[in-house]
């Protein structure tokens, strides 16, 4: 069992960074494949024989039963190979079954009953020889339903909210008393809508069988092992009977943290038909058929002294999940580690609705929660007549205010101060509505960012061959974040070889397991395991060299062997890595390494931090808002790759712009369905919406986080970004819209209410 | 997508004739709207007649001092054309406010005029829509209708026409030139091309079956300034919440009706000496919002007032 003290005391090649590859803005390892359209995503993988094409059909009721199906026309249509409903789909173990008790996911049966619990739930499935024939036949399937009245009105059912399973409100001190006694108060309510992930690549799967107990599956998923185990449980075969691959993934954002019926149905149909089967969600099906970020209502109360110190704060979040679910958008949790206050109350209420499944979406919790609290802080600063940056500095806690633990690293104040300086925050006029640029009223806003940091158990293998090529193998995923690239950098730096001599193989259930991509734990977890494997390979190579009579390094101290430019050396004695391996291990040499959380990791509060600064223009005639400039300054430990990390951070910031201004999906309560079903209706920011945007990463090493001293950035950029936009709108025109997204109709109403 | 047959027409007259011969035939040029709708089986043509390669993409002056724009000209070509930019800037601005560069590069003038509504209930085949499935009802009427029409709607349909280009053409008093299967040609005022929904929202224009748009003709530019303003949720590639085209004393509104809405009431008031704000108030007296789209009333009033001032060189 390792400890934080070991990590801090032990040098390693990433820390030493002898070749300088760590932190370098290295181009994406798989970039050329992606930009030339030659990276085989799951649906584009070439199977061993011509595939059949499956098309799913979603329920057109939100809740009720499928009472009948007229499949004759579809079955008679050209090229049709199979038409399934719950009545004739292959038998599968009940949902959640774990024949193997240590499976990381239970069975996920498809078409397993007549019960419909959300609009768009797959209820029928057509397979044909071509995609066109399958789509055409799917349109001929006629289903009948016994619909029930859907319970989908979140704001009308807040009263049904209960504590999430196993959770209670967290109160420190006496919030009500502290709030009442505070001379300056904010008490407001914010709402955020359902949001959809809108990954560029919809969920898609391809499967075929090599014998009755061996299923080969390519899919698009963030976590390999649960996908493999869940599919094996569904198919009723041994877990090792599923070989699951997810080599390239066109965006995940939490929405691909699980698999969906595309995978189940592809594998089942491939078994039934004896040929490969592809199944993909359509863009429209993605909106209902996969998870979404649920809507929230958040009440924030802040009570402060006149000097700005918080006496009391509370965020209470109401949110919703599927009728059979328990997922909770923890929009209140992040606040617990952010600001000091002696009296605090945070908690959640969960309402079960007949809507599709809620689930994690980028910066789950923080993304929604900062949209209230970080605006409330702006409102408090306004009431205090205090600069919003200064208000946050005044409330900077010396230790984690929730649990009293010391921070492993906390550079929030430096993020705030450096951001303010770089952005030109001193040019902000505290009184709103003072700056015009043509028809645009211009305003500046800021917000703080926070996101927890995590390290999970993972393994990795490193091989070296007779050419001196290093191959990294890990059951990790790259969802567009840069995993391939940072693993290559760690390998090259650790073994002292050029980047061109590193091969990275990930996204495969038969490789050493890693937990995958999510919660911004990916790079730290996978990378730390890779570093361990790399250090083990260094040691093995060094011992091979000093133990080999044919090596110039023979008889030396293996600990003193250096690795640089493909050469291993002991002072002035050296040979190339490839010469050594060719001579001593022509078949190559493979070692494994692993990482586990430190036994004492919980002694520290380990978080990532940032500060967002935003300049918007508001057209008071129309209520249109355009982001003109945005800067984020972040502190997230050592940065492995300045380019991919920056892309992660700016991407998160752009998500924040979308959440603030355009993104949201509304429920039509008559049907229980979502109104926006494509990217012409669900509006994510377009290029023209993003002006001058930059993310800066402060120098930091967090040796208590993991052996590399890195932390995650995938969620951090999204945390707080929307609030900076909302605060800038207020500075521009002096009104606040607390019902996101801040669209022209809502802002126009607020402007008119102010006589503008 | 349903199977269909395809032919490339050799002339506008041949295209119109071929369209009349085959039930379920549709013209295709850029295909930017039609193909999307075919994939969703909202459009189910049995036969496509490709008119995108016919020699009707020219943009040329008319003897009267106006401009004729071939129906197959791309939106990009029209927006970039020197005469259009110099003499009809409102048209160039309107086109550039629509779609994305990729779409404008493919979309034709004729196709732009005949594009179908973006109403979410039209696109979602699981919902009632009289335009898509006559007699099924209107899902938007009591639904999420933030972007519904405020003028000229009916109980059968409250959708809007979402073309930007058509709004400018309406303000410019453009005419639509067509050829019928019989070989007859006619010239239709653009403002008469589209029908209001009434009880037959699936019949969208006055064109007869097989009638092909061959060109759009502009009269000489109006005296006075021109301006196009569009309000949308994001900065590009988004349908408008409202738009306005000002061409001299003529005024058309977009995304407020199932056709580009010529604001005749406002024009009359302006000519009678009313201020732009007063003129818009007069026009909007005839509006019928449905709750979620109430905001369009003040939005259109403010937007059009600003655009009239802008066209008159007095800024916003």
Q: Mean pLDDT over residues A524-531, rounded?
A: 98
Q: Within this chain, do residues A612 and A741 fall inside the same structural domain, yes or no?
A: yes
Q: Within this chain, do residues A538 and A427 fall inside the same structural domain, yes or no?
A: no
At how many degrees (to 10) do helices A366-384 and A642-661 cross? 70
Whose CA is closest to A187, among A12, A32, A312, A309? A312
Q: Any chain B CB within 8 A of the CB of A681?
A: yes
pLDDT at A285 over 60: yes
> Are B235 and A744 a contacting pair at CB < 8 A?
no
Q: Any chain B CB within 8 A of the CB of A548?
A: no
With CA atoms as reference, the chain B residue closest to A688 would be B235
Q: Would you give the end-to-end CA distance of chain B in angstroms?
A: 47
Chain A / chain B CB contacts < 8 angstroms? 94
In this prediction, residue B314 carries a pLDDT of 66
> Can you spell out the DSSP letters for A208-258?
EESSTT-EEEEE--S-HHHHHHHHHHHHTS-GGGEEEE----S--TTTTSS
Quick one: CA dihedral B143, B146, B148, B151, positive or negative? Answer: positive
Q: Within this chain, do residues A612 and A725 fall inside the same structural domain, yes or no?
A: yes
Strand ranges across the sheet with A115-116: A115-116, A64-70, A142-147
Q: For residue B108, what are its two tokens?
A: 């034709």
Interface of A with B in 127-156 (CB under 8 A): 132, 135-136, 139
> Are B126 and A624 a contacting pair at CB < 8 A?
no
Strands A310-322 and A343-353, bridge-based pairing: parallel
With CA atoms as reference, the chain A residue closest to B38 would be A136
> Are A688 and B143 a contacting pair at CB < 8 A?
no
Interface of A with B in 491-510 (CB under 8 A): none
Calpha distance A747→B60 (Å, rounded): 44
Residue A402 CB partners (closer than 8 Å, separation 6+): A170, A172, A336, A337, A344, A605
Q: Between vectors from CA A718 to CA A291 and to CA A597, what angle results, nearest 5°?
A: 80
Strand ranges across the sheet with B175-179: B59-61, B67-70, B212-218, B175-179, B185-189
With CA atoms as reference, the chain B residue closest to A133 would be B1
B276 found inside a domain: no
> Which of chain B's residues have a Cβ under 8 Å away from the Cβ of A745?
146, 241, 295, 299
Torsion angles phi and psi, residue A350, rounded to 5: -115, 130
| Tens of pLDDT, residues A637-655 | 999 999 999 999 999 999 9
Q: Within this chain, do residues A532 and A644 fall inside the same structural domain, yes or no?
A: no
> Can you spell out the DSSP letters for A51-117?
PEEEEEEE-SSSSEEEEEEE-HHHHHSTTEEEEEETTTSPP-PPTT--SSTT-SS----SS--SEE-
Helix (H), strand (E) at residue B107: none
| Tens of pLDDT, residues A304-352 | 999 999 999 999 999 999 999 999 999 999 999 999 899 999 999 999 9
Q: Any chain A CB within 8 A of the CB of B101?
A: no
Q: For residue A79, what are its two tokens?
A: 């090229």
Calpha distance A50→A258 (Å, rounded): 27
The shortest C-alpha distance from B29 to chain A (Å) reads 21
The shortest C-alpha distance from A456 to chain B (Å) reads 39
> Can you spell out the DSSP letters for A589-639?
EEEEEEE---TTGGGSB-EEEEEEEEEEEEETTTTEEEEEEEEEEEE-BB-
Helix (H), strand (E) at residue A322: strand A310-322
pLDDT band at B2 (very low <50, low <70, confident <90, very high): confident
With CA atoms as reference, the chain A residue closest to B230 would be A622
Beta bridge partners of B243: B230, B254
Quick one: how far is CA B25 from the chain centroid?
22
Burial of A129 (0-12, 13-18, 19+ CB in 10 A): middle
Q: For residue A361, what are its two tokens?
A: 């979406």
Q: Any chain A CB within 8 A of the CB of B143?
A: yes
Which of B120, B239, B303 lies at the smallest CB-CB distance from A622? B303
Q: Any chain A CB within 8 A of the CB of B241?
A: yes
A489 found inside a domain: yes
Q: Residue A741, preceding bond cis, omega within 30 degrees?
A: yes
Alpha helix ranges (H) inside chain B: 12-21, 34-39, 75-80, 82-87, 89-96, 101-106, 109-113, 120-123, 165-171, 190-193, 264-271, 276-284, 296-311
Torsion angles phi and psi, residue A344, rounded to 5: -145, 140
Residue A532 CB partners (closer than 8 Å, separation 6+): A460, A593, A594, A595, A707
Calpha distance B23→B10 (Å, rounded): 20
Beta strands in A465-606 (DSSP E): 470-473, 502-505, 562-564, 567-570, 573-576, 589-595
Last residue of a domain, one of A596, A617, A634: A596
Q: In the predicted model, what is the mean pLDDT of chain A?
A: 97
> Are A678 and B123 a contacting pair at CB < 8 A?
yes
Percent of chain B with pLDDT over 70: 99
> Are B235 and A686 a contacting pair at CB < 8 A?
yes
Which DSSP letter does residue B138 get? B
Last residue of a domain, one of A563, A596, A629: A596
| Tens of pLDDT, residues A217-238 | 999 999 999 999 999 999 999 9
Which of A685, A686, A748 lies at the smallest CB-CB distance from B299? A748
Q: Are B217 and B196 in contact (CB under 8 A)?
A: no
Q: Within this chain, do residues A641 and A589 fall inside the same structural domain, yes or no?
A: no
With CA atoms as reference, the chain A residue closest to B239 would be A680
pLDDT at A589 over 70: yes
CATH number at residue A673: 3.30.365.10
B90 found inside a domain: no
Q: Any chain B CB within 8 A of the CB of A744?
A: yes
Q: In the predicted model, what is the mean pLDDT of chain B?
A: 96
A197 found inside a domain: no
Q: Are B62 and B221 in contact (CB under 8 A)?
A: no
Report helix, strand and coil shares of chain B as percent, to nearest 5. Answer: 30, 20, 50
Which of A135, A621, A626 lies at the smallest CB-CB distance from B303? A621
Q: Which of A744, A747, A754, A755 to probe by mutation at the B interface, max B CB count within 10 Å?
A: A744
Whose CA is closest to A199, among A301, A77, A281? A281
Calpha distance A675→A670 (Å, rounded): 11
pLDDT at A402 over 90: no
A715 part of the active site: yes
Residue A670 CB partners (closer than 8 Å, separation 6+): B142, B143
Q: Mean pLDDT over residues A127-151, rounded?
A: 97
> Are B241 and A749 a contacting pair at CB < 8 A?
no
Q: Any chain A CB within 8 A of the CB of B291?
A: no
Q: Any chain B CB within 8 A of the CB of A285?
A: no
| Tens of pLDDT, residues A469-504 | 999 999 999 999 999 999 999 999 999 999 999 999
> Which of chain A's residues have a Cβ under 8 Å away from the Cβ of B302?
621-622, 748
CATH number at residue B30: 3.30.43.10
The SS3 assignment for A457 reads coil
Torsion-angle region of A719 (φ positive above 0: left; ψ -120 to 50: alpha; else: beta): beta
Interface of B with A in 259-288 (CB under 8 A): none
Q: Would you give the end-to-end CA distance of chain A in angstroms?
A: 64
Beta bridge partners of A53: A128, A278
> Are B236 and A687 a contacting pair at CB < 8 A?
yes
Q: Any chain B CB within 8 A of the CB of A683?
A: yes
Q: Within this chain, do residues A582 and A612 fall inside the same structural domain, yes or no?
A: no
Q: Within this chain, do residues A485 and A548 fall inside the same structural domain, yes or no?
A: yes
Q: Any chain B CB within 8 A of the CB of A436?
A: no
Q: Mean pLDDT over residues A384-397, rounded?
A: 98
Beta bridge partners of A436: A441
Q: Are B176 and B110 in contact (CB under 8 A)?
A: no
A708 found inside a domain: yes
> Which of chain B's residues have a Cβ under 8 Å away from the Cβ of A663?
none
How many independent structural domains does chain B possess?
1
At how many degrees (to 10) do helices B296-311 and A744-753 cross? 90
Strands B47-50 and B25-28, bridge-based pairing: parallel
Q: How far is CA A173 from CA A163, A166, A311, A342, in A?
A: 21, 22, 10, 6
Q: Any chain A CB within 8 A of the CB of B102?
A: no
B36 found inside a domain: yes
Domain of residue B33 covers 5-53
Q: Within this chain, do residues A653 and A704 fall inside the same structural domain, yes or no?
A: yes
Which of A668, A677, A683 lies at the smallest CB-CB distance from B238? A683
Strands A692-697 and A624-635, bridge-based pairing: parallel
In this prediction, residue B315 carries a pLDDT of 54
Q: Are A270 and A209 in contact (CB under 8 A)?
A: yes
Q: Within this chain, do residues A660 and A582 fall inside the same structural domain, yes or no?
A: no
A702 found inside a domain: yes
Domain of residue A449 covers 401-454+604-753
pLDDT at B154 over 50: yes
Calpha distance A448→A612 (Å, rounded): 6
How many independent structural domains does chain A possess?
2
| Tens of pLDDT, residues A661-688 | 999 999 999 999 999 999 999 999 999 9
Last residue of a domain, one of A545, A565, A596: A596
Percent of chain B with pLDDT over 90: 98
Q: Within this chain, do residues A551 and A631 fall inside the same structural domain, yes or no?
A: no
Calpha distance A24→A482 (Å, rounded): 13
> Can you spell out the DSSP letters for A356-367?
SPB---SSTTHH
Torsion angles phi and psi, residue A200, rounded to 5: -60, -40
In this prediction, residue A29 carries a pLDDT of 98
Q: Which of B4, B119, B126 to probe by mutation at the A interface, max A CB count within 10 Å?
A: B126
Q: Are A139 and B41 in contact (CB under 8 A)?
A: yes
pLDDT band at B316 (very low <50, low <70, confident <90, very high): very low
């Amino acid at each position: 069992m390792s400890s934080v003290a070991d990590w801090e005391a032990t040098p390693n090649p990433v820390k030493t960074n002898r070749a300088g590859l760590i932190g370098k803005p290295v181009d994406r390892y798989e970039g050329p494949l992606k930009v030339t359209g030659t990276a085989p995503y799951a649906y584009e993988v070439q199977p061993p024989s011509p595939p059949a094409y499956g098309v799913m059909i979603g329920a057109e009721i939100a809740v009720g039963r499928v009472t009948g199906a007229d499949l004759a026309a579809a079955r008679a249509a050209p090229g049709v190979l199979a038409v399934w409903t719950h009545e004739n789909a292959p038998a599968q173990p009940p949902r959640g079954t774990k024949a193997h008790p240590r499976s990381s996911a239970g069975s996920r049966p498809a078409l397993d009953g007549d019960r419909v619990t959300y609009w768009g739930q797959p209820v029928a499935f057509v397979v044909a020889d071509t995609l066109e024939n399958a789509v055409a036949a799917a349109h001929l399937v006629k289903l009948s339903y016994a619909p029930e009245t859907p319970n989908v009105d979140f704001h009308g059912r807040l009263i049904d909210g209960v504590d999430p399973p196993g959770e209670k409100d967290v109160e420190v001190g006496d919030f009500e008393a502290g709030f009442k006694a505070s001379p300056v108060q904010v008490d407001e309510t914010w709402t955020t809508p359902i949001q959809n992930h809108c990954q560029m690549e919809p969920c898609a799967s391809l499967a075929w069988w090599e014998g009755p107990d061996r299923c080969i599956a390519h899919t698009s998923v963030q976590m390999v092992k649960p996908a493999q185990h869940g599919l094996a449980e569904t198919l009723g075969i041994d877990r090792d009977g599923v070989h699951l691959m997810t080599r390239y993934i066109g965006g995940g954002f939490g929405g691909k943290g699980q698999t969906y019926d595309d995978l189940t149905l592809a594998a089942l149909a491939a078994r039934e038909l004896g040929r490969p089967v592809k199944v993909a969600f359509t863009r429209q099906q993605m909106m209902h058929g996969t998870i979404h970020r649920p809507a929230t209502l958040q009440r924030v109360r802040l009570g402060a002294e006149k000097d700005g110190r918080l006496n009391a704060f509370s965020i209470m979040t109401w949110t919703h999940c599927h009728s059979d679910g328990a997922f909770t958008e923890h929009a209140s949790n992040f606040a617990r580690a952010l600001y000091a206050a002696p009296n605090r109350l945070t908690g959640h209420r969960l309402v079960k609705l007949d809507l599709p499944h809620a689930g994690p979406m980028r910066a789950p919790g923080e993304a929604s929660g900062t949209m209230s609290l970080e605006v409330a802080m702006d409102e408090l600063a306004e009431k205090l007549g205090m600069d919003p940056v200064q208000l946050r500095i005044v409330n900077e806690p010396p230790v984690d205010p929730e649990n009293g633990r010391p921070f492993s690293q906390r550079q929030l104040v430096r993020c705030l101060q450096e951001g303010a300086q770089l952005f030109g925050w001193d040019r902000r006029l505290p009184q709103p509505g003072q700056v015009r640029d043509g028809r645009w009223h211009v305003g500046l806003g800021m917000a703080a960012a926070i996101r927890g940091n995590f390290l999970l158990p993972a393994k990795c293998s490193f091989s070296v061959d007779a050419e001196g090529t290093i191959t990294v193998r890990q059951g990790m995923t790259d969802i567009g974040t840069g995993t391939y690239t940072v693993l290559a950098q760690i390998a090259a730096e650790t073994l002292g070889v050029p980047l061109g001599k590193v091969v990275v193989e990930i996204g495969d259930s038969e490789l050493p397991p890693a937990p995958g991509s999510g919660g911004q734990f990916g790079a730290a977890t996978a990378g730390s395991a890779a570093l361990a494997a790399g250090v083990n390979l260094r040691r093995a190579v060094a011992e091979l060299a000093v133990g080999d009579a044919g090596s110039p390094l023979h008889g030396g101290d293996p600990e003193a062997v250096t690795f640089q430019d493909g050469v291993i050396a002991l002072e002035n004695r050296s040979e190339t890595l490839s010469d050594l391996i060719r001579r001593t291990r022509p078949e190559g040499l493979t070692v494994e390494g692993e990482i586990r959380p430190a036994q004492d990791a919980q002694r520290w509060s380990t978080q990532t931090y940032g500060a967002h600064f935003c300049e918007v223009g508001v057209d008071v005639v129309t209520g249109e808002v355009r982001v003109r400039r945005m800067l984020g300054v972040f502190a997230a430990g050592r940065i492995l790759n300045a380019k991919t990390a920056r892309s992660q951070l700016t991407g998160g910031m752009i998500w924040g712009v979308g959440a603030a201004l355009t993104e949201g999906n509304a429920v039509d309560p008559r049907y229980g369905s979502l109104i926006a079903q494509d990217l012409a209706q669900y509006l994510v920011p377009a290029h023209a919406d993003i002006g001058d945007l930059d993310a800066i990463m402060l120098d930091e090493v967090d040796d208590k986080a993991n052996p590399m001293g890195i932390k995650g950035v995938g969620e951090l950029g999204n945390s707080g970004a929307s609030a900076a936009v909302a605060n800038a709108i207020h500075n521009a025109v002096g009104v606040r819209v607390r019902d996101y997204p801040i669209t022209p109709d809502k802002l126009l109403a607020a402007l008119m209410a102010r006589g503008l | 997508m349903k199977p269909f047959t395809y032919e490339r027409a050799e002339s506008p007259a041949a295209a119109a004739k071929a369209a009349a011969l085959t039930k379920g035939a549709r013209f295709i040029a850029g295909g930017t709207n039609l193909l999307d709708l075919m994939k969703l089986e909202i459009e189910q043509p049995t036969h496509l007649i490709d008119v995108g390669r016919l020699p009707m993409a020219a943009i040329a002056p008319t003897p009267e001092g106006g401009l004729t724009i071939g129906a197959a000209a791309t939106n990009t070509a029209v927006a970039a054309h020197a005469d259009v930019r110099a003499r009809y800037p409102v048209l160039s601005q309107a086109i550039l406010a629509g779609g994305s560069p990729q779409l404008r590069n493919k979309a034709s003038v004729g196709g732009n005029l005949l594009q179908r509504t973006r109403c979410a209930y039209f696109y979602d085949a699981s919902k009632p829509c009289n335009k898509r499935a006559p007699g099924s009802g209107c899902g938007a009427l009591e639904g999420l209708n933030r972007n519904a029409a405020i003028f000229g709607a009916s109980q059968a349909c409250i959708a809007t026409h979402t073309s930007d280009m058509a709004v400018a053409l309406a303000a410019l008093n453009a005419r639509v030139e067509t050829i019928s299967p019989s070989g007859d040609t006619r010239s239709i005022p653009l403002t008469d091309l589209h029908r209001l929904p009434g009880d037959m929202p699936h019949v969208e224009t006055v064109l007869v079956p097989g009638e092909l748009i061959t060109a759009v003709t502009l009269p000489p530019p109006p005296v006075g300034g021109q301006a196009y303003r569009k309000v949308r949720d994001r900065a590009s590639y988004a349908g408008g919440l409202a738009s306005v085209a000002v061409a001299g004393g003529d005024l058309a509104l977009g995304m407020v009706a199932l056709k580009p809405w010529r604001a005749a009431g406002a024009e009359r008031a302006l000519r009678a000496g009313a201020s732009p704000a007063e003129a818009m108030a007069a026009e909007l007296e005839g509006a019928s919002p449905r709750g979620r789209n109430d905001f369009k009333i003040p939005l259109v009033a403010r937007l059009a007032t600003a655009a009239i001032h802008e066209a008159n060189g007095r800024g916003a």
